[in-house]
Amino acid sequence: MSSSQGILRGVILFLAIFFIRISAGYAQFNALVWSDEFDYTGLPAATKWTCEVGGGGWGNNELQYYTLNDSHNARVEDGILIIEALKESMGGREYTSARLISDGKGDWLYGRFEIRARVPGGKGMWPAIWMLPSDWIYGNWPASGEIDIMEHVGYEPSKIYGTIHTKAYNGSIGTQKGSSVTGSDWETAFHVYAIEWTADKIDFFIDGTKYFTFNNQGTWETWPFDKRFHFVLNVAVGGNWGGVQGVDQTIFPKRMEIDYIRVYQSADMKITGPAYLETDQSATYQSTSFSGGSYEWQVPADARITSGAGTSEIKVTWGDSEGDVSCKVTLGSSVFSAVYPVKKAILPAENTFWFGNLTDGNTTDIAGITTDGNTYEFSESNESLKVIYHIVNPSTWPKFEITLPRPVNLKNHPYCAINLKTSNLSHSVSLRFDFADVNGVETNATPVFRPTITADGRYHNYQNNYTGRWISSSPVVGQKVDSTRIMKLITYVNSGAFGIANKTDSLWIESIRFMKSPLTSVDQAETSETDIHIFPNPVTDHLTISSNYLIEEIILFDIHGKQVKRVAINSRASDINVSDLAAGVYLLRTINGAGVVATQRFVKK
């Protein structure tokens, strides 16, 4: 190459990089994290490429044999990677060529991937620049996906194709997704082939013009593209697609030429890992991965990095201090950094953990969830937390929350005791206690902690045993609550099917305790929710209700709170026909003349 040609090539390269960087910036992929500029001579760089070897058709009835580190088939000269197909016999095949992969040397999840290349023409030629999964998490092809950045078949000299294959959409069943661009100089001029791949979609470009978008449809069968992929560069001869019109024996040798390959990712560096740790707890932290980057991690002085120093993922044994996990990545002349604060989780050292500070006069850690006009007043004194509520609409599930400054590990403290008092003058105090972990998963699976309140204006302890019951039913049935990271108490007052509209009342909470053992030698079972008795339960056709007070009205609700039956009576006992109800769980509410409400569950067979 002459000096003038070199200067011209340098100017063109500068302009290409300039406009490419602008394009990458618009897509928020503004860090060049990996590239091969082919500014060397000889075999492709072993630090970036591996030659796949062999014949056998490669799943497409191809005719070539791919060679190992043979400069006749793959070499770099004059700043260009050449992959060349020759008509020569090897391994029982009539042609040789090369297939280069970056697996284990260049693997990425998301980014902008650019290749400036010129493709070979002629009947029987099938060059491709594409990507395959590095880990095959979803299974063998096509389940784990394939991204064809550029494909060209010689019998269609005017077409360049970009294609996606997944389990739902693939060439074996004719459902692959893609598009093509028509041109006249694919085989004589260099063009920039690119994709921009995010968590939501993959866009396909030629020379900066987008011509196809494949969107994430939300299932792994249609979108396996949430895992790492690597490059594949090859020139095939013949095959199911390339050889549709046969192979022209007179055209060889034929070469694909690649000027450069560049990978851009977002420079918005992040660190992920647990936000709360205990002393001597081990944890893993990951930073945004930049291929070829140099990683420098820092942790508090009393924490130890046990493995992964110098990589994008470390394992840490935590100390006694709160502090930051930080990472600095040097990538060429660029430096990226991120800081991730880590707080200490509470590990109770004694038999009892006191949940929340209820008497410090500070209510900033308490919040009433106000909807439809429901209101709360909170005050703290040396005696207890006082709560005054006014509930307009119980169907909005009125509640207030107490949040800890940091989570607590209650795995070995499953017994909860809440000491409170109320006079229940409005007959509307109907409490339910849920606890939530740092991810917001709540202990709302049946049986919930819903004590029967003694309304005598004196303090009483109400207990619940969470052994084996750190379970949620909403929004995901059977989801485990992380008992090692409990963060919040959610108290429902006068809510749902148990609530009464337009009521005001008050209660005092003296303490909330979690213990390794119950307050007494025998774990207290939950007390009955009501002062009524129903028989039989489960029931088939008729339900007998009895009470120690005069019942004026009975209302039945389904499990969703919808009223299904209402009966007026004036007796301490009654027989209710439920033969018209569908099988399921129901709530039975009784109301007396003083407005006292009692509720009980029953099962209809």
Residue 538: which residues within 8 A CB-CB, separation 6 or more? Answer: 602, 603, 604, 605
Using the 8-state DSSP alphabet, how is residue 42 labeled? B
Report the SS3 class of residue 582: coil
Instruction: List phi, psi (to 5°) of 291.
Output: -60, 130
Report the SS3 class of residue 468: coil
- C-beta of residue 337 within 8 angstroms of C-beta of residue 327: yes
Bridge partners of 180, per DSSP, are 161
Using the 8-state DSSP alphabet, how is residue 529 labeled? S
- C-beta of residue 401 within 8 angstroms of C-beta of residue 458: no
CA angle in degrees (0–180, nearest 5) for 139-146-244 = 115
Catalytic site includes residue 221 = no
Kindly tell me the burial class for residue 4, based on how many C-beta atoms sit within 10 Å of its own C-beta (0-12, 13-18, 19 or more): exposed
Kindly tell me the burial class for residue 533, based on how many C-beta atoms sit within 10 Å of its own C-beta (0-12, 13-18, 19 or more): middle
Strand 282-287 with 107-108, pairing: unpaired
Q: How many CA atoms lie within 13 A of 440 on its CB side?
A: 3
What separation in angstroms does the CA of 315 have from each of 31, 281, 293, 438, 484? 26, 10, 19, 22, 20
Strand 276-277 with 334-344, pairing: parallel
Count CB-CB contacts under 10 A for residue 10. 10
Count CB-CB contacts under 10 A for residue 107. 19
**Catalytic residue selected from 151, 187, 257, 442:** 151
What separation in angstroms does the CA of 392 have from each of 377, 422, 425, 591? 15, 20, 16, 19
What separation in angstroms does the CA of 310 have from each of 199, 241, 341? 27, 45, 20
How far, in whole angstroms, is CA 119 from its chain's centroid?
A: 40
**Tokens matching residue 116:** 């400036």
Helix (H) or strand (E) holding 18: helix 3-26
CA angle in degrees (0–180, nearest 5) for 135-139-145 = 75
**Catalytic residue selected from 62, 84, 146, 442:** 146
Catalytic site includes residue 529 = no
Distance CA 323, CA 309 (A): 18
- C-beta of residue 53 within 8 angstroms of C-beta of residue 98: no
Closest listed residue to residue 468, CA positions, set 543, 396, 397, 415: 415
In SS3 terms, 446-495 reads as: CCCECCCCCCCCCCEEEEEECCCCCEECCCCCCEECCCCCEEEEEEEECC
3-state helix, strand, coil split of the chain in percent (to 5) is 5, 50, 45
Instruction: Just list the catalytic residues.
Output: 146, 151
